Amino acid sequence: MNEFKKLSFLGKTFVVFILLQPFLDFYFFYVPPLSNIFPFAISTIIRIIFTAFLAFFYLRDNPDRRILKLILIYLGICIVYFILHVWNAHHFTSYSPTNFNFSIFGEAFYMVRMLIPVFIILLTIHVNFDLHSFSLIVQILAWVVSGSIVLFNLIKLSLASYGGGFITGNIFDWFTNGDPGSFYGFASKGFFYYANSISGVVLLLVPFILYLNFTAPKWHNLTLAVVQLLSCLMLGTKTAVLGYLAMLFGTLALFLFTYCLGKEKKLHRSSVILVLGLSLIVGFMIPFSPMSNRSLTNDVTITEKSSNKVALLKQKRKLERELNHKAHGKSTRLMRYIQANYQNYSLNPEFVNGKYSYIIDPVFWSDVMKMPLKKRMDYRYLEKAMLDRVKKINHNKLDNWFGITYTRMNNIFNLERDFLSQWYSMGFFGVIILLGPMIYLTLRFIYLLLFKFKKYFTFLNAVMTFTILGIIGFSLYAGNILDFLTSAVLLAFFVGQAGTFFNRTIDSKEHPFEA
According to DSSP, residue 367 is labeled H
Q: Which of 267-271, 364-368, 454-458, 507-511 has the lowest mean pLDDT?
A: 507-511
**Hey, which residues does 320 pair with through a beta bridge?**
none
Q: Residue 178's CB: how many other CB atoms inside 10 A?
A: 14
Taking only the tens place, the pLDDT of each residue in 367-380 is: 999 898 889 989 89
**So what's the pLDDT on residue 332?**
74
Q: CA geometry: angle at 435 spanning 418 and 190, to 5°?
A: 50
Is it the case that residue 11 has pLDDT exceeding 60?
yes
The residue count for the chain: 515
Q: Residue 393's CB: how many other CB atoms inside 10 A?
A: 15
Phi, psi angle pair for 268, to nearest 5°: -75, 140
Name the pTM for this structure: 0.93
Is it the case that residue 129 has pLDDT exceeding 70?
yes
DSSP letters for 101-123: ---HHHHHHHHHHHHHHHHHHHH
Q: Name the 3-class secondary structure at 159.
A: strand
Q: Residue 58's CB: how many other CB atoms inside 10 A?
A: 21
Taking only the tens place, the pLDDT of each residue in 98-120 is: 999 999 999 999 999 999 999 99
Q: How confident is the model at residue 334 (pLDDT cuts 50, 70, 90)?
A: confident
Taking only the tens place, the pLDDT of each residue in 170-205 is: 999 999 988 888 999 999 999 999 999 999 999 999
Q: How far apart are CA 330 and CA 483, in angstroms?
A: 36
Q: How confident is the model at residue 53 (pLDDT cuts 50, 70, 90)?
A: very high
Closest CA to 453 of 514, 508, 389: 508
Name the H helices within 155-289.
Answer: 183-186, 195-215, 219-235, 238-261, 269-285
Q: 477 vs 120, which has greater pLDDT?
A: 120
Q: How many CA atoms lie within 13 A of 254 on its CB side?
A: 24
Q: 479 vs 241, which has greater pLDDT?
A: 241
**So what's the pLDDT on residue 329?**
44
Q: CA geometry: angle at 168 spanning 165 and 169, to 5°?
A: 135
Q: 419 vs 333, which has greater pLDDT?
A: 419
- How far is the CA of 221 from the CAs of 136, 265, 354, 369, 397, in angstroms? 11, 20, 45, 51, 52
Q: Are 235 and 188 in contact (CB under 8 A)?
A: yes
Q: Are 472 and 442 in contact (CB under 8 A)?
A: yes
**So what's the pLDDT on residue 298?**
74
Q: How far apart are CA 243 and CA 254, in angstroms?
A: 16
**Burial class, 297, CB count within 10 angstroms (exposed 0-12 / middle 13-18 / buried 19+):** middle
Q: How far apart are CA 18 and CA 489, in angstroms?
A: 8
> What is the average pLDDT across 425-444?
97
- Average model confidence (pLDDT) across the chain: 91
Name residue 216's amino acid: A
DSSP letters for 395-425: T-TTHHHH-S-HHHHHTT---SSTTHHHHHH
Q: How far apart are CA 158 and CA 512, in angstroms?
A: 44
Q: Which of 122-131, 456-465, 466-475, 476-485 has the lowest mean pLDDT?
A: 476-485
**So what's the pLDDT on residue 118?**
97
Q: Residue 103's CB: how many other CB atoms inside 10 A?
A: 18
Taking only the tens place, the pLDDT of each residue in 215-246 is: 999 999 999 999 999 999 999 999 999 999 99
Taking only the tens place, the pLDDT of each residue in 273-309 is: 999 999 999 999 999 999 999 888 776 666 666 666 5
Taking only the tens place, the pLDDT of each residue in 150-176 is: 999 999 999 999 988 999 999 999 999
Closest CA to 352 of 330, 367, 373: 367
Name residue 283's amino acid: G
Q: Are 187 and 170 in contact (CB under 8 A)?
A: no
- How far is the CA of 331 from the CAs of 343, 359, 390, in angstroms? 19, 8, 21
Q: How confident is the model at residue 505 (pLDDT cuts 50, 70, 90)?
A: confident
**So what's the pLDDT on residue 328?**
47
Q: How far apart are CA 11 and CA 31, in angstroms?
A: 32
The residue ranges of every structural domain in the chain are: 1-128, 130-307, 312-395
Is it the case that residue 327 has pLDDT exceeding 50?
no
Name residue 392's amino acid: K
**So what's the pLDDT on residue 480?**
85
